[in-house]
Amino acid sequence: MHRGFVRAFGALCLPLLATAMLGAQVRVQAAAPAYELVDVSPTSGHAAAFGVNNAGQVVGGGAGGQGFIWSEAGSTILKSIPRDSASIAVAVNANGLVVGQSRGALPRAIQWKKGKPKLLGKLAGLPISLAETINARGQAVGWASNESGGLWPVLWSGGHAKKLRTLPGSTWSGAHAINNQGQIVGYSEVGGIAHGVQWEGKRFTDLGLLPGYPESSATALNEVGQIVGCAQDGARGKAILWQDGQDVFHAFQ
């Protein structure tokens, strides 16, 4: 699996995620589930869901190597572009636009509109890409890579791809989330050390580090500019919140 795909789903804080998942399993065993569980898999084979919008549309991957979208009306397979062999759907916006990746010789960022696949714009010298999320305006973010292993954050908007700014000297960065205001968050690595970062128009901000934790990554944000993510020092991790546009961390065990 391409390293960027792993990082895209929060590899920086996997120890923290694993601990949280273990705790969740213990709680489920101790009490009755509070939710109805619905199997949204499009086939009887292996599948996983990665995104859901407010209308309850769910997207994911599986189904014989193809992405899918599920709603109360049923499931639709989201096919890869012609000549590619597989696809994965990662996010769906309020209008039902889906983004993810079409996988062939070179995996590339893709968008589905009403089930029809279309490649997102590409950047010269960066033929590998993944769109991680999409806002209500149809702007998508993710990353693009070359076959040498570098990774750069990308904004797809209005049919064009734009490589976003990174910390000086970084060759490994990615964008994780974009809100409806067009604010973007992600991370930028220098010397193997990741910093959470934010892009807003022409402004680029290093969100800083939690004292005692040499790495951070911003993974999501809301419509009022609050940002969440993680800080890590080896196997130690913290869930963090940036808010009010200040270098203030709220750390949670």
Q: Where are the domains of the chain?
A: 3-28+49-252
Count Cα neighbours of 45 within 13 Å in the Cβ-side half-sphere.
8
Among 45-49, 91-95, 208-212, top mean pLDDT goes to 91-95
**What is the pLDDT at residue 246?**
54
* Mean of all residue pLDDT scores within the chain: 86
The residues, ordered by sequence, that sit 6+ positions from 62 with a Cβ below 8 Å of its Cβ are 41, 42, 43, 45, 46, 47, 48, 68
**What is the pLDDT at residue 11?**
52
**What is the pLDDT at residue 252?**
44
pTM of structure: 0.85
- Give the fold, CATH level 3, of 3-28+49-252: Methylamine Dehydrogenase; Chain H (2.130.10)
Q: Please state the rounded mean pLDDT for residues 51-55.
A: 96
For residue 66 the two structure tokens come to: 């193809």
Contact 183, 199 (CB under 8 A): yes
Higher pLDDT pick, 246 / 197: 197
Q: Please state the rounded mean pLDDT for residues 147-163.
A: 93
DSSP code of residue 13: G
Whole-angstrom distance, CA of residue 28 vs CA of residue 105: 42
- Strand ranges (E), 81-214: 86-92, 98-103, 108-113, 116-119, 128-134, 140-145, 151-157, 160-163, 172-178, 184-190, 193-200, 203-208
